[in-house]
Structure 1
C-alpha cells in the first residue's frame, strides 16, 4: 500500500482537496480524502506543499514509432508503399525501450495514444498504452484504439512522387470511400455466413481490420488540418455512419460552430513550431481555447516526436496564455483526453477504482519552473526526482 499524504489534489472529477490524501492498493486508487489513516504497512509519500494530479495523457503521438537520435533504422511509423494499410498494428512497430518513454514519464505523461503517421489514406491501428514498461503487451490500455486515416497534403505528397493515387484531395476521399464500401460489404457477407456458411467471403486482412470501424467499435482518427479537409472527413464519416475524432484540427477555430453542431471532439496540435506547409498557415495556440469555448470537447497533443512528449504541459500552458480556460486545459491533458480516447474507465482522473497513475509536482504543471517529484504508474513509483 502507498499513501500520498497532505497534497493539493486536482482530481479532475469536479472536487479538489486543499490538503488531501490518496490511498493506493494493488495498483488501484482505493480512497481519496482529507482524513485517511495510513495502514501500518503503507509506504508514506509526503506531498505537503505539492500538487497531486492524475498522470497526463497525450491523445495523439507517435511514441516508439520513430526512435530517438536514429534515422531509417528506427523509423517504423509510415509504410509508404501502399496508400491503404489498415491492417498494420502500432504494437508491432513500437520500441518501448526507446529513451523517450523514460523522458515521458519523468515529465508526468503516463498514458498515450500512439500509432502510424499520416503518409497513407488508411495508415493502421492506434493503441493506448502506459509509458512505463519493457514489453508492449504489458503496457496496453486499449487495442485497437482507433483507425488512422489522413486527409490533406501528406498522402498527396507521398504518392504524387510515386506517380500514383492519391495525388489529389479527390483521390484521397475516393480511396477512403472505396475501402469503407468494401468493408461494409465484407461485414454483410460475414453476417450472412452465420446463416449460410457458403456466403462467407475469402479472408481479407485489410477488411478485417476495418470491420471494427464499420461496426462503430473504434473511430476513424482523422488527420485533418485545413477546414475543407475537416469537412470532408465529417462528410465521409456521416455517409458511412462511422465514428470519428478530428486530429490536429489546425483550422478548427475558423469553423468552431460547425464542429460543435456536428457533436464531434477534437485533438488539437501540435501548435508549437514552424508553419512548415501550406495547410498550417493558420496555425495558432488560440485554436484550443476557441473550440472549447464553443462547447467542443478537446484534448491537446504533442504529435511526438514533432514536440517531445514531456512538453505536453507546456503546450497546455501556452494554450491558456492564448485564451483557454486553465481548468479546461488541465482536463484536455487528463480526463477529457481519456474520454475522447474511450479509456476514462481506467485513467484520466483520481477516482476510486481507477489505475493509480499519479504525478506529484513541486509547482503548477503549467509553470516552466515546475518539475515532477514523483510519477506513479499502476501504483508503482517509476520515477522519483534525484533518485536512481
Structure 2
C-alpha cells in the first residue's frame, strides 16, 4: 500500500531496504528463529546499507536524517517479509539506545559507541526491567552505591532484548534510595567490564529470532564518566524518551497488522472451499472490509503521530494512545486473519501463525496497555 506521506527519497530507500531483506534476511529467518538470535553478519549488513542510525549525525557514522519516516520504511519492510526478530533488535538499537546516547551522552561516550552502532559492529541494549519491576520502574532495585572512585553496581535485570549479544548497555539503577523518583540514574556500561555477566537466553512465545536475556551486575565498578545524563535524572530521562519508544511499538504493530492482512488476501484468493474461492464468501468479504477500514484509519493516525514526532510535538499522552490502540488492533487483525486461514493458520510454516505469537508481546512491553490507559485517563481528569 503506497501512502502519500512518502516522497521519492523514501521510495528509493525502500528499494534499498527491500533488496537487503531479500538477500540477507529473509532466506535466514527460519535458522535465526531456531537459534534464537540474529547473527552479527546480518547486523553488519544492515549497517553497511545505512539501515541503522538513520537519524544519527553523519560525522558519527549515521545517516544524518532525523526523519522517522525512514525508520517506518525499515519497520514496514521487515514486518512485511516476516522478519520480526531483526525488526525487534534494530528497533531497540535505533529507537531506544541510540537516542539516549545522542541526547545524553558526552562527546567521549558518543565517539566511543555511536559510529560502531551505526555500522552494526556494536549492538546496544536498554536495560530497565527486573524480575520485580516491569511497567513500574520505580520498583527497580539494582543499586549503584557511591565509592571513593565512582560507583559500585549490583543487581539483576531480565527480559532484555539484544541481551545475549549486546556490547553496550544503558542501565537504570537506583542511586539514592531516599530520593523517590529523583533517586535513579542511567549508566553506560561496556559489556566487557568485570562484574557483568549474562544469564539465560530466555525462551519466548514469539519473536523467536530476537535474543532476550537475563543480565547480572556483581560489584561492577564504574566511574562518573560512565554516568549517562545527570545523576538523579534517570527517571526523567526515561520519561522524555518514551514517546519515541511507544511510537516505534505503534509502527511495528501497524506494519505487522498490514502484513497479516496482505498475506490473508493472497491466501483467500487462492484457497477454495466447497468449490468457490474463499474470498467469494460474504463472511470473508465482510471480515476483509472491516480490517481494511481499520487499517486505513490506523495509518492516518500513525502518519499524523510520525509527523508530530518529527516536529517535536508528539506528547507522551498521544504516544500512549497510539501504543495501546495499535497493539490492540494488531491482536484483532491477526486473530481474524488466522481464522480465515483455517487449519493452516495454526501451522508454524505459515507466517500468520508466527505473527499470532509475535503479536502478543505488543500490549505488554514499553509499558502495559493498562498503564497507557492510566496515563491517558490521568491527563483527562487532571
Give 1 or 2: higher helix fraction. 2
* Smaller-chain TM-score bracket: under 0.3
Which structure is higher in RCO with an 8 Å CA cutoff and minimum separation 6?
Answer: 1
Query: Normalised by the size of structure 2, how large is the TM-score?
Result: 0.26
Q: TM-score if structure 1 supplies the norm length?
A: 0.25
